[in-house]
Amino acid sequence: MMENGIKGKVVAITGASSGIGKATAIMLAAKGAKVVLGARRADELKTLAEQVIKDGGEAAFAVTDVKHRQDLTQLVQLACDRFGKLDVLVNNAGVSQLSRIDELDVEGWEEMIDINLKGVLYGIAAAMPVFRSQNSGHIINIISTSGIKIVPLQGVYAGTKNAVRTITEAMRQEGGHQLRVTGISPGFVQTDFANNMKNADLKAAVKGRMEEIAIPPAAVAGAVVYAIEQPENVEIGDIVIRPTIQD
């Protein structure tokens, strides 16, 4: 069974090379977790793993594109091969393409569905057999405040996030005492999240808003740590974390 707290827990994180994923890895490793890092960018992953180890932590990494189910299977397998178990999976990888729905950015829709929704499901599919065999485990899905408040330009993005919100709550109810499930919905956070946006004007607007009000990734990492470190019989189901100034 999972011990209380953080020390000794094995935590796999997708989207770990930057932003919330990176901050979460650093914070968990500093508290004694063994982190298994997945992201698409090999150089950033390697640098982060080396930083964690240099600072006295334990880390492993694998290039992981959550659009590919096999990559998630391999990330979970790496955790089990290197550290003998997997206690927590943090489904953090995400992407946003903001546009009016009638602009018909079908390619952008598919990218968000593949990463934000199917990527989370692939992570769950990879982790659950391990959690069942251990009779313990914890799924943490990084969702978004998008979807809590519906606004123009975010329809499909919020749709993918609300799908994950629904799946997270259903899993929480189904999980029984052997599985903990947590959904964390960040608002504006200082990340490179806007870099993938195709619409230059929207990208500039989002980046400007981030500079004005965004909270640091470590604030969200702290919420992840809080959920994980609870006693085994305590489940933190839902956390919303945003700048105080955000609507």
Reported pTM = 0.95
Alpha carbons 114 and 100: distance in angstroms, whole number: 19
Domains, the chain, with CATH or none: 10-189+217-236 (3.40.50.720)
Report helix angle 155-174 to 119-134, nearest 10.
10
H/E stretch holding 141: strand 137-142
Residue 1 has pLDDT above 60, yes or no: no
Mean pLDDT of the 174-201 span = 89
Residue 211 has pLDDT above 90, yes or no: no
pLDDT digit string (tens) for 13-43? 999 999 999 999 999 999 999 999 999 999 9
Q: Which is catalytic among the residues 83, 109, 122, 157?
A: 157
Residue 147 region by backbone torsions, left for phi larger than 0, else alpha for psi between -120 and 50, else beta: left
Residue 153 structure tokens:
């330009």
Mean pLDDT of the 75-87 span = 98
CB-based burial, 65-78: b 16+ in 10 Å, e otherwise? bbbeeebbbbbbeb
Alpha carbons 189 and 193: distance in angstroms, whole number: 9
Please, which residues have CB within 8 angstroms of residue 211's CB and are 6 or more apart in sequence? none
Residue 227 has pLDDT above 60, yes or no: yes
Residue 3 has pLDDT above 50, yes or no: no
Predicted confidence band of residue 200 (pLDDT cuts 50, 70, 90): confident
pLDDT digit string (tens) for 143-152? 999 999 999 9
Residue 185 has pLDDT above 80, yes or no: yes
**Mean pLDDT computed over every residue of the chain:** 95
Mean pLDDT of the 88-92 span = 98
Residues in the chain: 247
Question: Phi and psi at residue 14, in whole multiples of 5°?
Answer: -90, 160
**Which of residues 100 and 2 earns the better pLDDT score?**
100
Question: Phi and psi at residue 188, in whole multiples of 5°?
Answer: -70, 120
122 is catalytic: no
